[in-house]
């Protein structure tokens, strides 16, 4: 499940990267929508969001990228609650992303108990609202989160923001197993996965592997839309081999 920042560094590159994800065998795209105050994103993704905004990226242009591939692969948009509210509310936002072909959304700053209106609006449009579970989530709350999950449960591998890590946390296997026991949907892991070997390690315990900062960094270093597409395709090919797919 590769992540990308929509509109980074420009719309042409964004479209090229999304197409490369599809052609490289991705199972789902997590499409980040640039936002000025991202709470969950580390320095690489935060910098990409800032650059995309400075280049004129908006929710509308992000949904162009979604629309370009949504007929070939599920796309889950990653947004913050301010974006939902800025479109007139949950119902309007759900209709907007559904019209672009999105399969669902992740709204990391809408925790359980504060997201019911959004969840209901998404469900009415046939969209999944993907919840997050962290290492700090209590067992009782994790069970409640898994009960309302649609699409998949996103397990945050480590405390902190997104970004590549030197190793997969030792406690992750236990957290994933506990989440699987609670969930009726697949369980995917993100945050900190920066190599094909780490993707394979996580793939042995989880149903899905989300790679973000490593791929955004590859786009940053590429220098052109074609080079960016080649760079992300190369990483995904390595990851699929490591995963035995």
Which residue of the set 41, 164, 197, 220 is catalytic? 41
Catalytic, 10? Answer no
Task: Report the distance separating Cα 104 and Cα 89, nearest Å.
Answer: 16
- Let me know: does 188 contact 146? Beta carbons within 8 Å: no
Task: Report the distance separating Cα 113 and Cα 83, nearest Å.
Answer: 19
Structure tokens at 225: 């839309």
- Let me know: does 189 contact 208? Beta carbons within 8 Å: yes
Which residue of the set 10, 12, 27, 30 is catalytic? 30
3-class DSSP state for residue 194?
coil
Please classify residue 88 by burial: count the beta carbons closer than 10 Å to its beta carbon, then call 0-12 exposed, 13-18 middle and 19+ buried.
exposed
- Let me know: does 88 contact 117? Beta carbons within 8 Å: no
Catalytic, 41? Answer yes
Task: Report the distance separating Cα 161 and Cα 182, nearest Å.
Answer: 25
Task: Report the distance separating Cα 54 and Cα 15, nearest Å.
Answer: 18
- Let me know: does 153 contact 146? Beta carbons within 8 Å: yes
Residues involved in catalysis: 30, 41
């Amino acid at each position: 499940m590769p992540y990308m920042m929509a509109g980074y560094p420009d719309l042409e590159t964004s479209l090229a990267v999304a197409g490369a994800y599809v052609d490289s065998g991705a199972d789902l795209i997590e499409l980040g929508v640039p936002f000025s105050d991202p709470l969950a994103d580390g320095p690489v993704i935060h910098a990409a969001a800032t650059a995309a905004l400075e280049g004129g990226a908006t929710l509308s242009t992000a949904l162009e990228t979604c629309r370009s591939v949504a007929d070939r692969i599920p796309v889950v948009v990653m947004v913050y609650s301010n974006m939902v509210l800025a479109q007139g509310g949950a119902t309007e936002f759900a209709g907007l992303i559904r019209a672009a072909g999105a399969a669902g959304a992740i709204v990391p700053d809408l925790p359980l108990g504060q997201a019911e209106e959004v969840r209901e609006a998404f469900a009415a449009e046939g969209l999944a609202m993907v919840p997050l579970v962290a290492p700090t989530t209590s067992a009782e709350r994790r069970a409640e989160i898994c009960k309302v999950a649609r699409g998949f449960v996103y397990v945050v591998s480590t405390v902190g923001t997104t970004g590549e890590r030197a190793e997969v946390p030792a406690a992750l296997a236990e957290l994933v197993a506990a989440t699987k026991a609670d969930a009726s949907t697949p369980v995917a892991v993100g945050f900190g996965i920066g190599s094909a070997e780490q993707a394979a390690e996580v793939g042995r315990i989880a149903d899905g592997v989300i790679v973000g900062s490593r791929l955004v960094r590859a786009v940053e270093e590429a220098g052109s839309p074609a080079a960016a597409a080649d760079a992300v395709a190369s990483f995904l090919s390595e990851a699929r081999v490591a995963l035995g797919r």
